[in-house]
């Protein structure tokens, strides 16, 4: 399952233009634009979330949400 999730994140980043390829006579470069990657993955995830509104019910109706809690601490 994690492979599919990472593949989806990579696909969203590639589609969003987060990678640039530059080459000259002596070398090749693959440049990753971090801000573009974050924006494209975020926008893609929001679009997928809006396309499938039933995703909310998968997480809200499960027993997992009742059994676990998220604790945020400031250091």
Would you list the domain boundaries of the chain?
Answer: 2-53
Q: Which residue stretches of the chain are H helix?
A: 2-15, 34-51, 55-60, 64-67
Give pLDDT, residue 36: 85
Q: Which residues contact 31 (CB under 8 A, 6 or more apart)?
A: 19, 20, 21, 22
Please, are residues 42 and 65 in contact by the beta-carbon 8 Å criterion?
Answer: no
SS3 1: coil
Is 18:32 a contact under the CB 8 Å cutoff? yes
pLDDT tens sequence across 25-56: 888 988 888 888 888 888 887 887 777 776 66
* pLDDT at residue 75 greater than cutoff 60: no
């Amino acid at each position: 399952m994690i492979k599919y999730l990472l593949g989806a994140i990579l696909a969203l980043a590639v589609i969003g233009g987060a990678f640039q390829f530059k080459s000259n006579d002596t070398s090749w470069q693959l440049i990753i634009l971090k801000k573009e990657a974050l924006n494209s993955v975020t926008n893609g995830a929001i679009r997928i979330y809006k396309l499938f509104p039933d995703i909310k019910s998968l997480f809200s109706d499960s027993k997992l949400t009742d059994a676990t809690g998220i604790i945020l601490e400031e250091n």
